[in-house]
Amino acid sequence: MKRIGMLTSGGDCQALNAAMRGVVKTLCHSKEEVEIYGFLDGYRGLIYGNFQMLTGNDFSGILTKGGTILGTSRTPFKTIQDPDENGLNKVEAMKQNYHKLQLDCLVILGGNGTHKTANLLRKEGLNVVTLPKTIDNDLWGTDMTFGFQSAVDIATDAIDCIHTTAASHGRVFIVEVMGHKVGWLTLNAGIASGADIILLPEIPYDIDRVIDKIEERDKNGSRFTIIAVAEGAISKKDAKLSKKELKEKIKNRPYPSVSYEIAAKIQEKTGREVRVTVPGHMQRGGSPCPYDRVFASRLGSEAGKLILENEYGFMVGYKNREIVRVPLEEVAGKLKMVDPDASIVKEAKLLGISFGD
Ligand code: F6P
């Protein structure tokens, strides 16, 4: 008999359900008897003992369903060791609930913050297996996270739509793509949709270089320019600020986001008409794309296998086209960022895409 606790934590994404289904199907197809405890709304459910007992049937028909049937929430790692408003020790509470239910392991689906807490629980002696979710694709130890490809599809569709209206009106259009710390999504959606300029957190931009590209296109007879901007894109000037100074600057910025700041600068310096579009949380919503359905199912099935083999303390990841087991301590606390010298960036530059650097 295996008693499994399962939870999804952090921002949702497509294919969370597909991944959980993969785990449960694998367990249910083994000879092992299985009890599944689904903790609701992420770590919060584990902390406060809020769970539902689930069976294999609960995971049927959810392969194509977006979101997460367990609900999710953000439980920041930086405060996980602080008592809650009633003085409850959250880490101890999670351990107690785990032991009270006599769980054999926890299956935790999440991104960076989630993995830090998962690793803490592992160090505290709990058996943990994790799965890499996030549209940001910024988890260390895996070439790909599920949710990413689906989000690339949506962001690409958004930029495709903008292309036709931008061309008709001869406007400069900025499309703001999710990703505060990393630019994988913007980079891929930008290339996929033929963006002319791509601005990423990892490659600080100079507004004058951005304008150079717009003017170069003008000279060559292109009446419009598409700029894909990551939420966390940063100017060369701002990149020199300390973390604290930058936080303060963003707090007092008279614009809702960096895209509006860039739009205002372009407008002011060139007199061009600039529009901003923000697809926002649409990028995390809806059905997973076929790639993510397959990918999350494969990851889930390997997680099920780990549990059947009593192998714990791993994230199931993807390296060189193979599903792999990555020790949690190698994953937790590290970000996988776009390397400005990566070949994908060089290739994009060869295609004529400007990074504003
Ligand atoms: O989960 C990742 C992510 O979608 C980022 O790309 C984005 O910056 C952030 O979450 C948005 O967070 P929230 O859903 O809390 O607004």
Tell me the pLDDT band of 181, cut-offs 50, 70 and 90.
very high
Note the pLDDT tens digit of each residue in 229-284.
999 999 999 999 999 999 999 999 999 999 999 999 999 999 999 999 999 999 99
Is residue 190 within 8 Å of 228, Cβ to Cβ?
A: yes
Q: Ligand 1: distance of its center to the CA of 19 in Å? A: 20
What local confidence, expressed as pLDDT, does residue 297 receive?
98
Could you identify the atom of ligand 1 that is nearest to the CA of residue 178? 6
| All domains of the chain in start order, with CATH | 2-147+288-331 (3.40.50.450), 150-284 (3.40.50.460)
Could you identify the atom of ligand 1 that is nearest to the CA of residue 10? 1
What residues contact residue 286 under an 8 Å CB cut-off, 6+ apart?
Answer: 14, 66, 150, 154
Tell me the pLDDT band of 286, cut-offs 50, 70 and 90.
very high
Ligand 1: lining residues by beta carbon, under 6 Å: 11, 134-136, 178-180, 231, 284
What local confidence, expressed as pLDDT, does residue 23 receive?
98
Integer Cα distance of 18 and 120 in angstroms: 26
Q: Ligand 1: distance of its center to the CA of 77 in Å? A: 15
High-pLDDT (> 90) share of the chain, %: 100
Phi, psi for 324 (deg, rounded to 5): -130, 165
Tell me the pLDDT band of 307, cut-offs 50, 70 and 90.
very high
Note the helical H segments in 101-142. Answer: 112-123
What local confidence, expressed as pLDDT, does residue 250 receive?
92
Could you identify the atom of ligand 1 that is nearest to the CA of residue 181? 8
The tokens 């710390």 sit on which residue?
A: 181
Is residue 41 annotated as part of the catalytic site, yes or no? no
Among residues 282, 252, 202, 264, which one has the least CA distance to residue 14?
Answer: 282
Tell me the pLDDT band of 53, cut-offs 50, 70 and 90.
very high
Max alpha carbon distance in the chain (Å)? 71
Note the pLDDT tens digit of each residue in 134-171.
999 999 999 999 999 999 999 999 999 999 999 999 99
